[in-house]
Chain A
Amino acid sequence: MIGLLADLFLLLGGLFLFLGALGLIRMPDVYNRIQAGTKAVTLGTLALLLGVGLHQPTWWPKLLVLAILILVTNPVGSSTLARAFLRSGIEPWKKGGQDG
């Protein structure tokens, strides 16, 4: 039962990671791609960690540290990248602005 639940979380994590990758292809500009990437990767990885933790209950302390590090570093990396793009003069995509 617990094993099944763990597999479900692993699958869910993989699904979110896949959606994040799909977002990278579909979104029109770098800022929207970062948006799709950050959220999907963060929750996807957390779901993976949760699944692993359910499979291997003795690992949860290390997984907790991993989760904290991911929650702190992932958004910071995205923000810093986005800031660098804005600073270097890449205009955000506007709806109905240009084609494509």
Chain B
Amino acid sequence: MIRFTTLWVLWMLLTGSLQWSELLTGTVIAALITGLSQRLVDSGSQSDLIFTPRSLLSLLRYLRVFALALIQANLDMARRVLSPSLPIDPAVVEVETTLQSTLGKLVLANSITLTPGTLTVDLQQNRLLVHWIDTAVLAGDQQGEAALQLATREIAAGFEQHLKGFLR
């Protein structure tokens, strides 16, 4: 049902008109695709979302954090690219997440990719492999568990606290 509504809304956005013929065709197509994709791809995405008034609030808060991070990421990247000394110190670190659903982890991975100096490389269960462009924060000597904790706090925690509001 969620999927049908989403598809139907997307159809209306694509057509951008409210003629009855468009409405009718959109309903038929959305129903067709809903039936088709439910049979084809098994997914638990129905239960991935949380619907409460508070979840809407955290969605908005997440969008704000994300938009700011995206702009900041670009300014940061511009600074690194334009400065003659190329101030980067990259490494691959691990990050832990408490999100359970596939959709939640996908959104988190995408958010990390689009934010300052980080790029999600891989995702396995509750560990994300992240390429971090400036690991000066790690101070070089921290290893293992401590590095994991620090990287998680630096990279993922900002998004996770809001994402948990509307995703499992």
Contact = CB atoms under 8 A, between A and B. Distances in A.
Given A16-B74, A26-B86, A32-B90, A39 B122 contact: no
Interface string B64-85: 0000001101100110111000
Contacts of A95: 88-90
Interface string B1-33: 000000000101110100000000000000000
Contacts of A19: 74, 77-78, 81-82
Nearest to B136: A95
A72 to B, nearest CB: 7
Interface in B86-110: 86, 88-92, 106, 109-110
Interface of A: 16, 19-20, 22-23, 26-29, 31-32, 34-36, 38-40, 42-43, 46, 58-59, 61-62, 64-65, 71-72, 74-76, 78-79, 82-83, 86, 92-95
B113 interface: yes
Interface centre among A28, A59, A82, A93 (most CB of B within 10 A): A82
Given A19-B81, A31-B131, A65-B13, A83 B91 contact: no
B99 to A, nearest CB: 16
Contact of B92 (A38, A42, A71, A92): A92
- Mostly helix, strand, loop or mixed at chain A's interface? helix
Contacts of A74: 114
B133 interface: yes
B74 A40 contact: yes
B56 interface: no
Contacts of A36: 77, 81
A19 to B, nearest CB: 5
B113 A79 contact: yes
27 contacts: A19-B77, A19-B81, A20-B77, A23-B80, A23-B81, A26-B86, A27-B86, A32-B90, A35-B119, A36-B81, A38-B113, A38-B119, A39-B77, A43-B74, A59-B16, A61-B13, A61-B14, A62-B13, A62-B14, A62-B16, A74-B114, A75-B113, A76-B106, A76-B110, A79-B113, A86-B121, A92-B131
B110 A65 contact: no
B152 interface: no
